[in-house]
Amino acid sequence: MKIFISHSSRNKDYGILLVELLRNLGIKEDEIIFTSNVAYGIPVGQNIFHWLKSQIEEKPFVIYLLSEQYYESIACLNEMGAAWIIENDHAAIFTPDFDLSSEEFQSGALDPREIGFYINDEERVLSFIQLLSNSFKLSNNTILISQSVKKFITEIGKVKSESKLNQQPSRIPITPKREKIETAVAETISKTEPVQIEKGDLYSKFLGLIRANRLKVDELLLLHYIIDTSKVKLMTGWQKEHEVSNITEWEKINDIKDVLSKNYAGVLNRFELRGFTEVSAVTNYGNPKEITIKNEIASKILDLPNDVNLKIEAIVKDNFYEHPDEVEEDDGLPF
């Protein structure tokens, strides 16, 4: 499978950064189609339309880099239509100032109710990387991935600033107020009531992600495991199986489904990418063998706000095993 970045040439700076991120994640050069760079574009001597058609028919993973310029381009709309008909797996990524309430987006081939995200939303970029890992072999170096994402977000901010300086009036109006964009996002790509993620220190970010339902079930189960065992140091690397064994026993004792033990490695990776953990012990070869929940979170994890505890407890309750013999039989009496 390849990744095809469908974009307007006027947004190539965003696309170039996206390609750089994909390469840092471990995606190979020949797995990326990006026509604004000859290294990833159309081979010499090929007919552009025939070649693009053949690539789309091979069902690549399509990234739609959506912007007002994208919807002004006939070529882009043709690409979207061709990929949509073939039903390629895809993701919609919005340039920072794209207006989700625009008529072109709302009435286009892509379903506006599908989940997409702004290219400068760090949390959603991390979730996107997790999605890509289902189809592509990515780097196992979570520190490198985390650094690459942070660099990507910083560079996107620079391109955004430059774009505003060079911005010219165009046919599709861009909403000037950020709050209107956020309202459009809530109306078109979110099925739940939006929750404001708190800014600032790591602990506030941690609470905000839980309140906004951004953490997955296995991540919340790991938090419950940490709280229940008062254990903020977790084994990884060659010691990972020891921790998984401990979690398995904990699940059995508490009658909890084996979601966490099965996904332990993935949860640790996500926690590291979110900045929740740090390496606290390494092997003689410098490989991590133990990680620790960062002190900003660890110092307060046993005294979380009530609403956050309730969210964690609700997930745990949903993951208890049900035993048929514990269900009371109906004796036919009306009381």
pLDDT tens for each residue of 141-159: 888 899 999 999 999 999 9
pLDDT, residue 238, reads: 85
pLDDT, residue 288, reads: 85
Type of residue numbered 65: L
pLDDT band (50, 70, 90) for residue 323 = low
Nearest-angstrom CA–CA distance, 172 and 170: 6
For residue 199, what is the enclosing H or E element? Answer: none
Nearest-angstrom CA–CA distance, 329 and 259: 30
Comparing CA positions, the residue from 266, 262, 236, 277 lying closest to residue 134 is 266
Q: Residue 261: is its pLDDT beyond 90?
A: yes
Kindly state the percentage of the chain with pLDDT values over 70. Answer: 78
Type of residue numbered 253: I
Q: How long is the chain?
A: 335
Alpha helices in the chain (DSSP H): 12-25, 48-57, 68-72, 74-86, 103-106, 122-132, 142-166, 178-188, 202-211, 217-229, 240-254, 259-273, 295-298, 306-318
- Number of neighbours of residue 307 by Cβ within 10 angstroms: 10
pLDDT tens for each residue of 190-237: 343 444 434 458 899 899 999 988 899 999 999 999 998 888 999 998
Lowest-confidence segment of 30-34, 89-93, 170-174, 295-299 by average pLDDT: 170-174
pLDDT tens for each residue of 35-72: 888 788 766 556 556 666 777 777 888 899 999 999 88
pLDDT, residue 269, reads: 84
Comparing CA positions, the residue from 228, 250, 255 lying closest to residue 318 is 255
45, two tokens: 């001597």
Report CA 199 to chain centroid distance, whole Å.
18
